[in-house]
Structure 1
Amino acid sequence: MRFNVLAATALVGATMAGAAFAEVESQEPIKLTLHDWSGQLLTTTIMGKVLSEAGYNVEYVQADYIAQFAGLKSGDLHVAMEIWETTGREAMDEAVATGNVVNMGETGMTAIEEWWYPAYMEETCPGLPDWKALNDCAREFSTPETAPMGRYLGGPVTWGGFDEERVEALEMDFEVVHAGTDAALFAELESAYQRKAPIVLWIYAPHWAPAKYEGSFVEFPPYTAECYDDPAWGSNPDMAYDCGKPTGPIWKVAWSGVAEKWPGAAKAVEAFDINNEDMGAMVADVDLNGKSVDEVADAWLAGNKDVWSAWIAD
């Protein structure tokens, strides 16, 4: 995990303003972080619009998913709306342990992020979804660039996830190749699926892909905390990460000073709650139906005013 590099900090002003529900405590900007996948952009935009409606001054800051914790600990960044149990828990726990970052609770969404393959690959590779069968079929997943090794298409490198460590610990005949962006990851899946071409890649939920495409997650040895922390655990006595990824909540975190400077905003962030079904539908509207993040967020806000109004009520 890397904590020392903060990505670009381009600021984008909030687009929604309205009558405040209560007098705000400070007009200093609350800086919400933006990352590089549609669901997180939606979550953050919805939260930002709600805070703007309450009268707060909101700024959006483009930041690296893991490296953002440096800014959250220093107070240069204020709120991060999606920390996935699957890939961000270690970074979150380290930051919270400093006392400078606070866990603001669950978003209401449950995360899974794991290797995934299309159903048609089961004819080529009998024994799937077991990871050992996948490894036996590594050559069937190779590309000219990786042959004779299989290719695993991972998410952008900034997402973390320990895929290289897992491949090494489980002695898999695969090379990890990272997609440059979230959009590139799913564009490659679409292309492979239409051609019934070999592919195994990072898929996550909540997202539209597991519903649109028939396939399965690879079944690795079940995750335990010891798998990540204790090399002696698991099949490889010399290396950690010889298991699958964890599953669990998607969390919200904030700089510890938020509750003191903007107590009303802190309560709103804590109250934020959206389920997997709603988020999956919104991501599909952006990624598949060509709508903008603002357009989709505004539609959700219009249809759920009773929900979000309660987040900022006195």
Structure 2
Amino acid sequence: MRRLQLFSILGAFLVTSLSSASAFAKDPIRIGLNNWAEAIAVSHMWQQVLEEKGYEVELKTVEKAILYTGLSTNAIDLALEIWMPTTDAAYYERFKDRIDLHESWYHGARLGLAVPAYMEIGSIEDLKDKAATFGDGRSSDRIVGIEAGSSLMAMTEEAIKTYGLDYNLVTSSEMAMISTLDRAYRQEEPVVVTLWSPHWVFAKYDLKYLQDPRNAYGATDDIHFMSRKGFAEDFPEVLGWLNAWSMDDDSLGTLMAEVSEAESPEEGVRTWIAANRSLVDGWLDSRQSAQN
């Protein structure tokens, strides 16, 4: 009888152990991200949060078009930065039947052309008369952009046509654009760049968006996350946490600042999570997640 009881106890222990292990005996969660500051910050943040909870997470840096293709073909599980209803509308309409759009976690995001506050210019319309609007005769005949294929670059190309601007749109990268902005800012030279909010550069430099009277860049967006079909069934707990996730200018701004100032995104995220543990734990609260 004792031997039978021992076997029953051991059997129950093995079943429990195997069941617990099987919860994480899945493929890694693959998060796709485009090379924007906030996407880098929140993707690394969720990688660390999910790894703390026992999940394996892989980050894949891709262009926006490949991001949507990856979600639609199950090559990518999650994308944490999707701007709707304007910026990502064209991509979403193309792939919406093969991906799932979820909750928004940030409200009031925007895109546009930005200049240093010292420039005597207030509207995109003013760019038509560069020498006069830049104050002392100094002028620029280019708009410094980011990566080709991004929604922001496509919208800027349309804005140049809409406003009839005789400007060259320079394709570069986020970091190259910021480097150009920094160099011009330190010398108080005229510079026009493509920018978006939220972004940490607005805390570092005194910048302003140019007014957009013809609405070339549309209204403000909300930032959502998206997943491949079937992710909700495979990772219901993770989806509940993500649905409970919300950030504002302060929380996202401090996260992006930590990441930009640290030696690596991992280090910056680790510092931010330690300082904001109660906020993160709120997203992971099982009762709150169950309601979303």
Contact 1:208/1:283, CA 8 A, preserved across alignment: yes
SS in 1 for 2:144: strand
Mapping 1:1-314, distance limit 5 Å = 24=23, 26-85=25-84, 87-96=87-96, 98=97, 100-122=98-120, 128-137=121-130, 150-161=141-152, 162-179=155-172, 181-223=173-215, 243-287=216-260, 289-314=261-286
Q: Aligned partners of 2:140, 2:182: CA distance in 1, in Å?
A: 22
Q: Aligned partners of 2:205, 2:257: CA distance in 1, in Å?
A: 13
Contact 1:140/1:198, CA 8 A, preserved across alignment: no
Q: What's the RMSD between the two structures over aligned residues?
A: 2.6
28-37 vs 278-287, which moves further: 278-287
Amino acid in the other structure paired with 1:261 = D
SS in 2 for 1:300: helix
TM-score, structure 2 as length reference = 0.80
Give the superposition deviation at 1:286. Answer: 3.1
Q: Kindly, what percent of the aligned residue pairs are identical? A: 25
* Per-residue Cα deviation, 1:214-269 (whole angstroms, up to 9, x for no partner): 2321112253xxxxxxxxxxxxxxxxxxx234312111111121001111112122
SS in 1 for 2:47: helix
Q: Aligned partners of 1:211, 1:61: CA distance in 2, in Å?
A: 28
Give the superposition deviation at 1:149. Answer: 7.8
**Structure 1: tracts of 5 or more residues without a match:** 1-20, 123-127, 142-147, 224-242
Contact 1:114/1:218, CA 8 A, preserved across alignment: yes
Give the superposition deviation at 1:131. Answer: 2.0
Number of matched pairs: 261
Q: Aligned partners of 2:174, 2:202: CA distance in 1, in Å?
A: 15
Q: Aligned partners of 2:206, 2:263: CA distance in 1, in Å?
A: 24
SS in 1 for 2:217: coil
* Per-residue Cα deviation, 1:150-196 (whole angstroms, up to 9, x for no partner): 211112223222211221232111111122x2111111111001111
Amino acid in the other structure paired with 1:117 = V
Amino acid in the other structure paired with 1:115 = L
Q: Aligned partners of 2:249, 2:219: CA distance in 1, in Å?
A: 17
Contact 1:149/1:175, CA 8 A, preserved across alignment: no
Give the superposition deviation at 1:140. Answer: 7.3
Change (3 A) 1:212 1:265: same
Give the superposition deviation at 1:95. Answer: 2.1
The structure that has the greater radius of gyration is 2
Q: Relative to total residues, which structure has the larger helix share, 1 or 2?
A: 2
Q: Aligned partners of 1:305, 1:58: CA distance in 2, in Å?
A: 20
* Per-residue Cα deviation, 1:26-70 (whole angstroms, up to 9, x for no partner): 522111013212321110111122222222221111211232101
Amino acid in the other structure paired with 2:50 = L
Contact 2:47/2:57, CA 8 A, preserved across alignment: yes
Amino acid in the other structure paired with 1:45 = H
Change (3 A) 1:247 1:285: same
**Structure 2: tracts of 5 or more residues without a match:** 1-19, 287-292
Amino acid in the other structure paired with 1:254 = S
